[in-house]
Amino acid sequence: MVKICCIGAGYVGGPTMAVIALKCPDIKVTVVDISTQRITAWNSDQLPIYEPGLEEIVKQCRGNNLFFSTEVEKNVADADIVFVSVNTPTKTQGLGAGKAADLTYWESAARMIADVSKSAKIVVEKSTVPVKTAEAIEKILTHNSKGINFEILSNPEFLAEGTAISDLFNPDRVLIGGRETPDGNKAVQTLKAVYAHWVPEDRIICSNLWSAELSKLAANAFLAQRISSVNAMSALCEATGADVTQVAHAIGTDSRIGSKFLNASVGFGGSCFQKDILNLVYICECSALPEAANYWKQVIKVNDYQKTRFVNRVVASMFNTVANKKVAILGFAFKKDTGDTREAPAIDVCRGLLVEKGQLRIYDPQVPPEQMRKDITMVRFDWDRNVALRSLGDDELKQVTVVHDAYEATIDAHAVCILTEWDEFKSLDFKKIYDKMQKPAFVFDGRNVVDVGKLREIGFIVYSIGKPLDAWLKDMPAVA
């Protein structure tokens, strides 16, 4: 029986390995992590991450051919294939701080693999890493391994949170990069055989190591760039009376452009887009390509602009002050169907409103209250100037109440801000909400989920990203 061990039981390691175990009953899959808390949760009824469809798979496979363990070294030593799916955040200190990937976790995993291995292994980069990381890992493995043979593969993951299971079941492609040597090719074929249990062969792309590593950064950069493009367009729509949804539809029907990923929003979030683009920017700068670096930087700058623009729009619309006004925040996760808040635009929007002394009542169906408080007060970095932004403290936290229901959040509120596109927000009874709000009642829709016409009929003043402005808003000063 082939034995797979995955180091890192996070958003990628957990779901990916659960699906491999489900689709490959002939393979034993063990997911290991240094976090006892995470592993305990994976072995319980309360999984550490929320992902539609995941729980059923884990329940079906756990204890059969899927195991979660803190015995990192033992399981790595036993495995034929070791996936490394540890976190690779942006460095916050030292050389490359604010941009470069922090490979501390990666390097310690690689050193541990070298230390404990007694048999040949295929080591698979699952984490998103800078191009050429495989070369560094090879050096660590070969210098410490007492002659054991390691083949390094790059097998970046393209799943999106909230749809991880369907993305893994039916991927657009699986990418495997390896050394172009007989041993390298053999390792590629071994990993290909794992995916071939359920992925059609023509969707398994093989390439050299550097192309695979760079393709992951490129894919995220292109995806994020589309959002920043449509968001930049949304600002122009508001200034001209065009409707960004209509513009997106009109351009998206061109098969060369395509219709997906053109939803204007309060900004993109998630743990990877910003981190991976900054990583790309850093690599361009280190390769003496400042023009290429500046091009990609602009994608994040527009994203920051979009979040600031939203906060300014809220404040400007409400007579230039939200001090002591109650603002209902609907949605805190970075997108629907996940409890993940990493880089969620809600964090920056809430911080912006708190600095303006707003009283926030936040509701999200998946995010625990303590997570929201942690996010709001954690140290944020200005990536461009590489300085820590002002920390928010207990005083600002007193302005935050977390509630368990969207209606409760809106009672007595002056304004509602929709920051995540949860389905339940589409079917809220806005008449009921309006009746219990202060007047004039404002809705600021950062995800374009509400029916603007209907809400205006009820009496709301509505701002919706990139839509023709309400007469009320037209007179307010331009933003940002």
Ligand X SMILES: NC(=O)C1=CN([C@@H]2O[C@H](COP(=O)(O)OP(=O)(O)OC[C@H]3O[C@@H](n4cnc5c(N)ncnc54)[C@H](O)[C@@H]3O)[C@@H](O)[C@H]2O)C=CC1
Smallest distance from ligand UGA to CB 65, Å: 25
Q: Would you say 15 and 51 are in contact if contact means Cβ atoms under 8 Å apart?
A: yes
Residues in the interface with ligand X (CB under 6 A) total 27
**Residues in the chain, total:** 480
> Which of 272, 284, 350, 417 is the catalytic position?
272
Distance between CA atoms of residues 76 and 78, nearest Å: 5
Contact between 12 and ligand X by CB under 6 A: the answer reads yes
Identity of the residue, 19 or 223, whose beta carbon is nearer to ligand UGA in the bound complex: 223
Smallest distance from ligand UGA to CB 332, Å: 12
Interface residue with ligand X, options 97, 105, 377, 458 (CB under 6 A): 105
Smallest distance from ligand UGA to CB 227, Å: 5
Distance of CA 443 to the CA centre of its chain: 26
To the question of whether residue 377 is assigned a binding role by annotation, the answer is: no
To the question of whether residue 8 is assigned a binding role by annotation, the answer is: yes
Reading the block at residue 108, the tokens are 């310690």
Strand partners of residue 90: 101
Identity of the residue, 127 or 154, whose beta carbon is nearer to ligand X in the bound complex: 127
To the question of whether residue 11 is assigned a binding role by annotation, the answer is: yes
Smallest distance from ligand X to CB 35, Å: 4
In this structure, which long-range contacts are made by residues 340-344, counting pairs with CB atoms below 8 Å and at least 24 apart in sequence? 340/11, 340/49, 340/161, 340/270, 340/271, 341/269, 341/367, 341/371, 341/372, 341/375, 342/269, 342/270, 342/271, 343/269, 343/270, 343/271, 343/273, 343/274, 343/275, 344/269, 344/270, 344/375, 344/419, 344/420
Which three-class secondary structure state does DSSP give residue 328? strand
Which three-class secondary structure state does DSSP give residue 461? strand
Contact between 34 and ligand X by CB under 6 A: the answer reads yes
To the question of whether residue 87 is assigned a binding role by annotation, the answer is: yes
Distance between CA atoms of residues 390 and 388, nearest Å: 7
Identity of the residue, 83 or 150, whose beta carbon is nearer to ligand UGA in the bound complex: 83
Distance between CA atoms of residues 347 and 341, nearest Å: 8
- Bridge-based pairing of strands 81-84 and 359-363 is unpaired
Contact region for ligand X (CB under 6 A) — 11-19, 344-352, 373-381, 415-423?
11-19
Nearest of 237, 335, 320, 220 to residue 272 by alpha carbon: 220
Interface residue with ligand X, options 65, 87, 279, 306 (CB under 6 A): 87
Contact between 13 and ligand X by CB under 6 A: the answer reads yes
Question: On the CB side of 369, how many CA atoms lie within 13 Å of its CA?
Answer: 10
Nearest of 286, 5, 336, 22 to residue 169 by alpha carbon: 22
Identity of the residue, 110 or 461, whose beta carbon is nearer to ligand X in the bound complex: 110
Contact between 165 and ligand X by CB under 6 A: the answer reads no
Smallest distance from ligand X to CB 181, Å: 26
Interface residue with ligand X, options 4, 5, 6, 7 (CB under 6 A): 7
Which three-class secondary structure state does DSSP give residue 466? coil
Q: Would you say 311 and 345 are in contact if contact means Cβ atoms under 8 Å apart?
A: no
Identity of the residue, 96 or 352, whose beta carbon is nearer to ligand X in the bound complex: 96
Q: By the criterion CB under 6 A, which residues form the site for ligand UGA? A: 128, 157-161, 220, 223, 227, 261-263, 265, 268-273, 334-335
Smallest distance from ligand X to CB 227, Å: 16
Distance between CA atoms of residues 64 and 381, nearest Å: 44
Contact between 85 and ligand X by CB under 6 A: the answer reads yes
Identity of the residue, 84 or 159, whose beta carbon is nearer to ligand UGA in the bound complex: 159
To the question of whether residue 275 is assigned a binding role by annotation, the answer is: yes
Identity of the residue, 242 or 458, whose beta carbon is nearer to ligand UGA in the bound complex: 242
Contact between 127 and ligand X by CB under 6 A: the answer reads yes
Smallest distance from ligand UGA to CB 46, Å: 22
**Catalytic residue flag (residue 5):** no
To the question of whether residue 274 is assigned a binding role by annotation, the answer is: yes
Question: Residue 122's CB: how many other CB atoms inside 10 A?
Answer: 23
The sign of the CA dihedral 285, 289, 292, 298 is positive
Contact between 159 and ligand X by CB under 6 A: the answer reads yes
To the question of whether residue 425 is assigned a binding role by annotation, the answer is: no
**Binding site per annotation, positions:** 8-13, 33, 38, 86-90, 127-128, 161, 272-275, 342
Which residues are near ligand X by CB under 6 A?
Answer: 7-13, 32-35, 38, 72, 85-88, 105, 108-109, 127-128, 157, 159, 161, 271-272
Active site residues: 272
**Binding site per annotation, positions for NAD(+):** 8-13, 33, 38, 86-90, 127-128, 161, 272-275, 342
